[in-house]
Amino acid sequence: MDRSSLEELLTPVVSASDPTSYSVRVAVLPDGERPEADDWHAAEWKTIGGIPHASLLVGPDGVVELGPGAYRVWVEITAPPEKPVVASPRFSIN
């Protein structure tokens, strides 16, 4: 992804059941960091090819603006009584 690009960051979520009825939040952080309370942003669900994805607009004027570097996306799903948090593989911004 180029740092000047404004686009949807789609993170696939693999689950035994459809998670899209639950609320989802996303944190995008430099690789090696863990999310704190202020890092989370409300996200939306998008289903692509039958796979649910957490969606967040990133880039200039997006929810999150990223500089060059390596990042991970963290996804938190609120599915009472559970609240799973999962991290994506690393990706890079040029």
pLDDT tens, position by position, 13-35 = 998 889 999 999 999 999 999 99
- 1 pLDDT band (50/70/90 cuts)? confident
CATH class of the domain defined by 7-93: mainly beta
Assessment of whether the complete model's pTM goes beyond 0.75: yes
List the domain boundaries for the chain: 7-93
Let me know the angle formed at the C-alpha of 67 by 61 and 70, rounded to the nearest 5 degrees. Answer: 130
Question: Could you tell me the CA-to-CA distances from 38 to 3, 26, 47, 52 in Å, in that order?
Answer: 22, 11, 27, 25
Give the Cα separation of 62 and 7 in Å (integer). Answer: 8
